[in-house]
Structure 1
Amino acid sequence: MKTFIKTLVLPTLFMVAVSTQVSAQTRRNTTTTTVKSKVNTKRIASTKVTYKTPKKKVVSVRNVPNKTIINHKGQNYYYANNQYYTQSRGRYIVIAPKVGFRIKVLPTNYRRVHFNNHNYFNVNGIFYIQINNEYEVVDPEVGTVVYELPEDYEKVVIDGQNYYEYANILYEKVQVDGTRAYEVVGIIDMQ
Structure 2
Amino acid sequence: MNFSKKNHEYQKSNNYLVSKTILKASILTSLFLMALTTEVSAQSRRSSTTKKVTRTTTVKKATPSRRISSTKVTYKRPTRKVVSVRNVPNRKVINHNGQRYYYNNNRYYTYSRGRYIAIAPKVGFRIRTLPAHYKRVRFNTFNYFYVSGIFYTQLNNEYEVIDPEVGTIIYELPDDYEKVVIDGQTYYEYANILYEKVQVDGTRAYEVVGIIELDN
With normalisation by structure 2, the TM-score equals 0.69
Aligned partner of 2:212 among 185, 188, 191? 188
Aligned partner of 1:82 among 97, 106, 109? 106
Q: Which residue of 1 aligns with 2:161?
A: 137
Please give the alpha-carbon distance, in whole angstroms, between the structure 1 residues aligned to 2:73 and 2:63: 18
Letter in 2 for 1:98: K
Please give the alpha-carbon distance, in whole angstroms, between the structure 2 residues aligned to 1:58 and 1:172: 22
Aligned partner of 2:179 among 155, 170, 175? 155
Q: Which residue of 2 aligns with 1:123?
A: 147
Match of 1:55, SS state, is coil
Structure that is richer in strand per residue: 1
Q: Which residue of 2 aligns with 1:19?
A: none
Please give the alpha-carbon distance, in whole angstroms, between the structure 1 residues aligned to 2:209 and 2:193: 8
Query: For 1:42-92, what per-residue CA distance to the aligned partner results, in whole angstroms no more than 9, with x for missing partners?
Result: 110001001111112423212111000000001000001210000111210
Q: How does 1:36-115 map to 2 (within 5 A)?
A: 42-115=66-139
Aligned-pair Cα RMSD in Å = 1.5
Aligned partner of 1:171 among 181, 186, 195? 195
Residues 76/4 of structure 1: CA separation in 2 closer, same or farther (3 Å cut): closer
Please give the alpha-carbon distance, in whole angstroms, between the structure 1 residues aligned to 2:214 and 2:63: 23
Match of 1:47, SS state, is helix
Letter in 2 for 1:47: T
The CA deviation at 1:4 is 6.6
Please give the alpha-carbon distance, in whole angstroms, between the structure 1 residues aligned to 2:110 and 2:93: 10
Where does structure 1 lack aligned partners over 5 or more consecutive residues? Answer: 10-41
| Overall identity of the aligned pairs, in % | 75
Q: Which has the larger radius of gyration?
A: 2
Letter in 2 for 1:144: T
Range moving further from structure 2, 166-175 or 57-66: 57-66
Residues 144/4 of structure 1: CA separation in 2 closer, same or farther (3 Å cut): closer
Deviation >3 Å, runs of 4+: 1-5
| Number of equivalences | 156
Query: For 1:154-191, what per-residue CA distance to the aligned partner results, in whole angstroms no more than 9, with x for missing partners?
Result: 11100001100001000000011111100000000011
Match of 1:172, SS state, is strand
